[in-house]
Structure 1
Amino acid sequence: MHAMIRGAGLGFGLLLSVLTTMTSVPGAERSEPANRVGPQVPVALLWGPDDRLHVALREARRLVTVDPQNWQVVADWPVPIRPCSLALDETGSTYFVGGADGETLVLDREGAVVRTLTAGKGPTRILPLPAGQVAVGSLWDAAVRVIDWRDGHVVATHRLPFPVGALARTPKGRVVVADAFGGHLADFVPGRPGSERVRNFEGVNLGAIAVSDEGKELLVIHMEQLEPAPITAANIDRGLILSSRLSGVQLSEFDSEADEPLSRRQVVLDGPVHGAADPSALALSPDGTQIFITLAGSHHLLKNDRTNGGLVAAGEPHGLRPLGHNQRLQVLEVGRSPVAVAFDRSGQLVVTADSMSDRISVVKVANLSRVASVELSSGPIARTPEQRGEALFLDGRRALDRWMSCSSCHNAGHTNGLNFDTMGDGGFGAPKNTPSLLGVAGTEPLAWNGSLARLADQVHQSLESSLRGPDPAPGMVDDLVAYLESLRPPPPRRPRDDPAAQRGAALFQARRCESCHRPPSYTIAGVRDVGLDDGSGGNRKFNPPSLRGVGWSAPYFHDGRAATLSQVVQSHSPGQERALSPQERDDLVAFLESL
């Protein structure tokens, strides 16, 4: 029995709910929006077969349909999840909605929920495949499931060594997966477990991937650290700390067995007077000549015109368009934190989902001018401290010249795994690994040397000495604290009742690991000398990090010297006279992955 979503209608049959919305179009009147309370948070865009635009509203738990003839919302209906992604099957008759909490809904053209697919853990992305199948990747699954959406059967599960980010499909039918936080790309033949190939990629925060129109190159937007230099204003403006890039990786690179990072060509996205914080989405024009990129941190839309120089420019690989040029990028400021971008079918317009402004911006491709703004909230948005804090966390204006935001180092509240030389330990010279902020509430003191007693102290210091931005206005620190305190630890990497994890739990207790990592937070309010030091920093006592979610937060220790948990437990056993056996090491790792 199909469940009909009340007030549904995807804009292809009978519209069951006709509304008005606040729309700003040059020369047009503004109409009053439907009454909506609180932030809507548009996070995904999808053009339907009848050229209407569908928008997912994460916090409102709604989908809306926008008619581009007048840029009015013409349908609005609730969904039982917080939607974060939208996709359409190859026939244009079936819709897929990914949820922020691991759900996947299958909808028909009339908005009926046909099926709910196997749930994952965390924000879910969906990639339609031929023959009634979809690839479904949830952030904390470390796997992509291939599912026959017609009956819900899981055809295959492709295990990966990293949290799942963006998905794309190559002309040969392989699925490409980006690491959501660190520097990895993988590909596989859908439905064939064991075909996974994982390659290193020099970059972090791989916001989006797409296959170029020639079908030979993978386009990747991401951030990159040139070196862990001291975080000074000069080094930020030189692009040493973090810089944003568009990279092109030839798909043939995946065929190589080399351990070296994937070769690529690049365009630097940062401008001469401002950074390009947090590239979040990209869209390729129908003819392949234009690449539009949203920058969630700097609130910009970038236009990268690839037509300069002809089809093959000097030094470009044969058969590939020029990737673009930094000096030819065009920039338009849109709403706050744009996280999605899409061309209309004509290729003459692009739209952005401005998540923290509750707005859809409509932009003319030819001259990069805004032609309409669709306001999705009625009047000023009433946000809670937590919601205001999220907007600040994503805001590159809190940093020097919009080079980065809090999210640049702590994407989705987690960690990009890099070392940064901040003033967090009182001086420069000893770069420290970026900790995850998921579950940070109640783990005080903070900083690797335990010098900050309150979360508010850590936030204020980060704004001042890491982001190097303007002084926070009254209330900003409190709002950021409220947001950080709302972040829950990630789900464990393996179940707690796993036999190896249970043996590891007993070992954890027997070896008195709890003296530094005491449940339930698995940390302590103090510092310990555990036989490590930070070299020129002069520190030997460190603040034990919480172990909740530790299976996801590689690399480890204050300087990231251990790449895996196995290396941690094998090389570091403070106060222990007996080394672990291989079985004990594996059991202890299993327990840590169950936290």
Structure 2
Amino acid sequence: MRVSWQAVGGLVPLVVVAGLALARPEESKVVVRDPAPQALALVPGGRALVAERGTASVALLELAEGRVLNRVSVGAEPFGLAVRGSVAVVTSYGADSLSVLSLAPKGVGVTATFPVGAEPRGVALSADGKRAYVALGAESCIAVVDLASRKVIRRLPTGLEPWHVALTPDGKRLAVGCTRARTLSVFAVPSGQELYTVPLNGRNVRQLAVSPDSKQAFVPFINERRFPATKDNIGRGWVVGNRLARVPLSDEGPREAIALDTNGDALGDVEGCALSPDGQTLALTAGGTHELVLFSRIAGLPFVAFGGPEDFLEPASVQRIRRIKLGGRPMGVQFSPEGKQLVVANDFLNAVQVIEVVTGTVTKTIALGGPATPSLVRQGEILFHDAKRSFHSWYSCASCHTEGHTNGGNFDTKNDGGYGKPKKTLSLRGVAQTAPYTWHGWQTDLRQAIRESFVSSMQGDEPSGADLDAVEAYLKSLDWKRSPFPPSAAGKQVFEAKGCTSCHGGPNYTSTAITKVGLEEPSDVYQGYNPPSLRNVYSRAPYLHDGRAATLEDVLTKYHRPSTLTSQPDCTPQELRDLVAFLKSL
């Protein structure tokens, strides 16, 4: 199937906004980048702030007139935005920083930018606007920031890899969604005491919405079932199921959930979540299926605590939802103060959309700029995030390879030669430099691996040559992140002395060899494993081919002990600390 790039997910070329072109002074050719908006926050006076991931900037929009007032540069990969009155902040995931923004009638400015911790993501502001609560994904904690002194005054430990946070309207509770821990934690404010943590029983924990009465939080996630990725199992919702959880905030209790998918037409890659001011209508964005979903009378939906939910949204609830096609990749979403409109940041449209709630009509599409024609890499990124390329739209490549990395989940595909032994999703960072592929290293052709993913792992249509060209270009653009952890000379000495370089050598800490490590089973189709790169291993928990090791310490003391792999003495406690510090720095 050949793709028309003007039609994928409703993508249309947009007019370039003057001032967006970025280029070095010595370059004669102007480079126009995709704004790629993902997060937004409404500002008093009918305006909106938008975080533009692709241009490392924040734009201020005038919604009624549908125009960009101005934009300012912030740190790389802005991720989270928060506004409280005249105070606004933005996190920059790629720069480990927080920027304080100034809001004026005609534009936004940057008051200060300062380091806040490793890989900041979601952010919330206290009721008085004096403190920011920042989720630090790589440190698994919440940084409490005093905005006057611009310092982190406290760190609140959380589950593994917090992404999104939300403060209750009464200012007394902070909800934190941890995507790798698969939990939602509730903290008291301002004391910072962790009150309780609720297991969500699912991955890809995304944006939070809190009820107006401060009693409940709503959060989308995916439920991984570990059934073989056959067409029948995918269609039943037995491989990946898309869910919405409801979690109590006033008192400890179990999470309740409902299925979001309908039979034959799933809701892929749910990201944004917002509640109307009266708490009656819930809005979700589904980037994988390019749509906005509205649930009416949310309180009456059949949330199930134990033994559920069912595989599909129950028929009675289907009558209470509206699925509105937006195209592109809708991400962040917010209701207007009166609840009559929704504002959506649409990544692949390079635009912000305004939707009337009653009619479901898109009344404005505010172009943010970008190339008139998507680059080959951008085309591949679009395909990579397109859940409609899977059977009945259940999931995209990005569902498992989040941000081109890994979501830490186990999936049962034929990448190991058959079904029955689910394997942990490998990271795709640096994939062009780390052949061969799969855990067993049997696949040596990246292009063929891409094809197999579409037609086998996703049970989708045969990709065209143009599709493969685009996705291959996107994968080749994926590089490792700079580790936020400092180097350890002592740990490097341990790494070399214990013989770790025999498998994890060279600049990428891997090899092309297939090695038996003692974890093989007689029934394995392929014997032995290809050592994955250790670069960015700090963000890849759990570990090993089936995720059996929760931590790097578990790997080195239980499953990959030097005495069993390299005939070297096992690590002393100090050597173990040094070695783990070195691995986290890669």
Pick which of 324-333 and 283-292 moved more. Answer: 324-333
User: Aligned to 2:367, which of 375, 394, 405?
Assistant: 375
Letter in 1 for 2:349: S
Partner of residue 363, structure 1: 355
2:186: which partner in 1? 187
Which sections of structure 2, spanning at least 5 residues, go unmatched? 1-13, 21-31, 307-313
Shift, 1:197, TM fit: 5.3
1:538-564 alpha-carbon deviations (Å, 9 max, x no partner): 443111111112222122221112222
Out of 514, 519, 522, the position equivalent to 1:527 is 514
Q: Distance in 2 between matches of 1:155 and 1:529?
A: 48
Answer yes or no: is the 8 Å Cα contact 1:397–1:405 preserved in 2.
yes
1:237 is displaced (CA, Å) by: 0.8
Query: Match for 2:275: what amino acid?
Result: L
* CA distances 1:237-275 after superposition (whole Å, capped 9, x unpaired): 100111111110112565xxxxxxx72221211122211
User: What's 1:60 paired with?
Assistant: 55
Partner of 2:281: 290
2:291–2:330 CA contact under 8 A, matched in 1 = yes
Cα distance in structure 1, aligned partners of 2:34 and 2:525: 47
Contact 2:68 2:368 in 1 (8 A): no
Query: In structure 2, which of residues 425, 431, 434 is the aligned counterpart of residue 440 of structure 1?
Result: 431
Moved more, 267-276 or 187-196: 187-196
Structure 1 residue runs of 4 or more that deviate by more than 6 Å after TM superposition:
312-317
1:314 deviates by: 11
Q: Which residue of 2 aligns with 1:549?
A: 536
Identity %: 32
- Is the alpha carbon distance of 1:236 and 1:578 closer, same or farther for their aligned partners in structure 2, counting shifts above 3 Å? same
Return the offset for 1:152: 0.8
The answer (yes or no) to whether the contact 2:72–2:110 under 8 Å persists in 1 is no
d(CA) in 1 for partners of 2:464, 2:413: 22
Give the Cα separation in 2 of the matches to 1:532 and 1:80. 46
1:382 CA drift (Å): 2.7
Question: TM-score, normalising length from structure 1?
Answer: 0.84
Deviation at 1:447, TM superposition (A): 0.4
C-alpha distance in 2, partners of 1:376/1:344? 20
- Structure 2 CA distance for aligned equivalents of residues 369 and 133 of structure 1: 37
CA RMSD of aligned residues (A): 2.8
Shift of residue 154 of structure 1?
2.0
In structure 2, the CA distance between the partners of 1:523 and 1:280, relative to structure 1 (3 Å rule), is same
Q: Does 1:463 align with 2:454?
A: yes
Are the counterparts in 1 of residues 288 and 329 from structure 2 also a CA contact under 8 Å? yes
Q: Which residue of 2 aligns with 1:44?
A: 39
The letter of the residue matching 1:494 is: F
CA gap 1:560/1:249 in 2 versus in 1, 3 angstroms: same
For residues 411-560 of structure 1, the aligned pairs below 5 Å read 411-492=402-483, 494-497=485-488, 502-534=489-521, 536-560=523-547
Q: Displacement, 1:160?
A: 3.4
Q: Distance in 2 between the 1:117 and 1:32 partners?
A: 34
Q: Distance in 1 between matches of 2:261 and 2:522?
A: 33
Q: Distance in 2 between matches of 1:535 and 1:295?
A: 42
Alpha carbons of structure 1 residues 161 and 247: separation in structure 2 relative to 1, 3 Å? closer
Number of positions where the alignment pairs a residue of Structure 1 with one of Structure 2: 542
Aligned to 1:218: 217
Query: Are the equivalent residues in 2 in contact too, given 1:41–1:57 (CA < 8 A)?
Result: yes
**Matches of 2:494 and 2:167, distance apart in 1:** 44
- Structure 1 gaps of 5+ residues are 1-30, 255-261, 318-322
Asked if 2 retains the 8 angstrom alpha-carbon contact of 1:117 and 1:149, the reply is: no
Note the 1:117-156 alignment, pairs <5 A. Answer: 117-122=114-119, 124-131=121-128, 132-156=130-154
**Cα distance in structure 1, aligned partners of 2:570 and 2:93:** 42
Indicate the residue corresponding to 1:234 in structure 2. 232
Does residue 1:247 correspond to 2:234, yes or no? no
Alignment correspondent of 1:104: 98
- Where 1:480 maps in the other structure, the secondary structure is helix
User: Taking structure 1 as reference, are residues 155 and 196 closer, same or farther at Cα in structure 2, changes over 3 Å only?
Assistant: farther
The range that moved more, 34-43 or 354-363, is 34-43
CA 190–579 in structure 1, closer or farther in 2 if over 3 Å, else same? same
Matching of residue 164 in structure 1 with residue 176 in structure 2:
no
CA apart distance, 1:86: 2.3
Q: Secondary structure of the equivalent of 2:352? A: strand
Q: Find the residue that maps to 1:78 and give its secondary structure.
A: strand
For residue 567 of structure 1, report the CA deviation from its aligned partner.
Answer: 1.6
Judged with a 3 Å threshold, the aligned counterparts in structure 2 of structure 1 residues 338 and 122 are, in CA distance, closer, same or farther, namely: same
CA distance in 1, matches of 2:498, 2:304: 59
Find out whether 1:114 has 2:101 as its counterpart.
no
Deviation (angstroms), 1:585: 3.2
Q: CA deviation at 1:514?
A: 1.0
State the partner residue of 2:201: 202
Amino acid across the alignment from 2:164: A
